[in-house]
Structure 1
Amino acid sequence: MSHLRNPLAVARGLGAAKDGVHHWWLQRVTAVALALLSPWFVYTLVSLVGADYQTVRLTLAQPVTASLLAIYVGALFWHAQLGLQVVIEDYVHTRWLEIALQLVVRFACLFAAVLAFIAIGRIVFTA
């Protein structure tokens, strides 16, 4: 009997869950943050080449540097998780594997970000 229904009636209510636009915006915002912070990050790393351990710690422990580094790390792992989520959704068609991979990616990105924040905190508070 479903073959007698109008295709529009069948499709109604099956549209976007209004989550795609939010995901798209988050990806763009994190990309802009990374585009702005990456040159600073590279400049900071290059300026520290050949520096001794204490100089590196004191440089990274400065409040502005530590804050920018934390924002960079947060944006980096968030952007990576969002991008990998899209890749998994597009190319993994086995439902259980897709769910498992999504969980692995989320927890791996969260774990790496937490480790990075702890490392930045240790540098800041023990320098």
Structure 2
Amino acid sequence: MPATRRGALASGISATTTRIAHLARDTLVIFMTDNGSTFGQVYYNAGMRGNKTTLWEGGHRVPCFFHWPGGGLTEPRDVDGLTEVQDLLPTLSEICGFDAPERCDGISLSPILQ
């Protein structure tokens, strides 16, 4: 790529980054998986018994990370309570100031996130 095009690309990336940098503070990022490792090939399972579709810890204990600088979630910490993906709708509803639907599985995790 010619230098002038690289410079234009770098300038565009820099301008875009500057325009959206303020969004990082107010954006809630959630990373999670749905269940333990699969059967068959041996995957890392942190030494836990069981895997996908089993009731043992290795079948349902998975990582879930929340990062939200504007909401005070900046430092890593462990939460020992049992949670599940169905808790996301009531949690996000509460954080956004909305009422969760009446027939909604799960509970808000907002109290343990603060």
Task: Please state which band the TM-score falls in when normalised by the shorter chain.
Answer: under 0.3
Normalised by the size of structure 2, how large is the TM-score? Answer: 0.25
Which structure shows the higher helix fraction? Answer: 1
Normalised by the size of structure 1, how large is the TM-score? Answer: 0.23
* Structure with higher RCO (Cα < 8 A, 6+ apart): 1
Looking at CA atoms only, which structure, 1 or 2, has the larger radius of gyration? Answer: 1
